[in-house]
Amino acid sequence: MTHASAASPEILAFGEAMTMFVADTPGPLAEVEHFHRRIAGADTNVAIGLARLGFPVGWLSRVGADSFGDFIRHTLEAEGLDCRHLTSDPTHPTGLLFKARAEGGADPRVEYFRRGSAASRLSPDDTLSVDFGALRHLHATGIPPAVSTSCRELSWHMLDNARAAGASISFDPNLRPSLWASEAEMRETLNAMAARADWVLPGLAEGRRLTGLETPHDIAGYYLDRGARAVIIKLGPEGSYYRGTLAGREESFTQAGFPVAEVVDTVGAGDGFAVGVVSALLDGLSPRGAVRRGNLIGAQAVQVVGDMEGLPDRARLGALEASLPPLTP
């Protein structure tokens, strides 16, 4: 069955996918001779993670009509994503990035080549064939609105139409300060977008930067007061904090993280966390079950090289969760 005749995907993500070259050896990128090719993009990481767990996921974006764009399309389709809304742009290239191999759990250096990319040309016009009425869930991040003015217009269009259609929305701020004209513009825009979402998933440092508040409790309250139903804050190795109202019950708690013997690559940990939380809430799990799954998949993500290689399929996730002790209230 072709995508054109298949049912519209129930879950949709959008943004910029890039071809990534990961250094084979540690050291400055200028001295690395060999790289492995992969794909990168916070939005695609989450889309791939949800698809591996069996959800019908669609991807909306643009790539260049070039070999790197073909590579991204083939990779995403091999992961089970519905790419009917992925456009090949004949006049703008696919974005690239190069990632160093870090040691000792440090964040790797990343160099981007995305200016003028096909994805930076995304706009509301790219949604003309989207059936928002069929949408169950939209995952959004703060990256597309930082990439270009037209991408920002697309982000608002996606959030407003998904909300009007009654779909649930998750929003990960995923701050990219260097892409914004000013700190104030970043804060104002992303806080307004988070207010459109049901589930807001900032890191603690991100929440502090966006709200000016210090504690997880107060940061969560900031977004709950503006319309979010639940706020789940990533605390790094310590785990995560939840505050919100789901199924008519208001609660807040901190869920401990999972110990990791060796951190290989920190990039993608937050995306793995989002995969865990969003998938669990879509599966109907309790907030505690959702946060624990977020911690669990986030811990898996940092143990391998690559942004999404550590994301489990449903069988692997089932085995991991079966080994855990029962949740305590």
Q: Which residues are catalytic?
A: 271
Token look-up 């992969």 returns 38
Q: Is 157 left (phi over 0), alpha (psi -120 to 50) or beta?
A: alpha
Alpha helices in the chain (DSSP H): 42-52, 67-78, 144-147, 149-164, 183-194, 204-211, 216-225, 269-283, 287-301, 314-322
Structure token digits, residue 108: 């790797």
State the Cα–Cα distance between residues 198 and 195, nearest whole angstrom.
Answer: 8
Q: What crossing angle do the helices spanning 42-52 and 67-78 adopt, rounded to 10°?
A: 30
Instruction: Provide the pairing of β-strand 199-200 with 168-172.
Output: parallel
Strands 96-101 and 199-200: unpaired
The Cα–Cα gap between 39 and 145 comes to 20
Ordered DSSP codes for 147-184? H-HHHHHHHHHHHHHHHHTT-EEEEE----GGGSS-HH
Rounded to an integer, what distance in angstroms lies between the CA atom of residue 61 and that of residue 81? 12
Nearest-angstrom CA–CA distance, 44 and 158: 16
What Å distances lie between residue 215 and 172, 224, 258, 299, CA to CA? 18, 14, 22, 23
- Distance CA(54)–CA(321), nearest Å, equals 16
Closest CA to 163 of 196, 128, 126: 196
* Farthest-apart Cα atoms in the chain, separation: 56
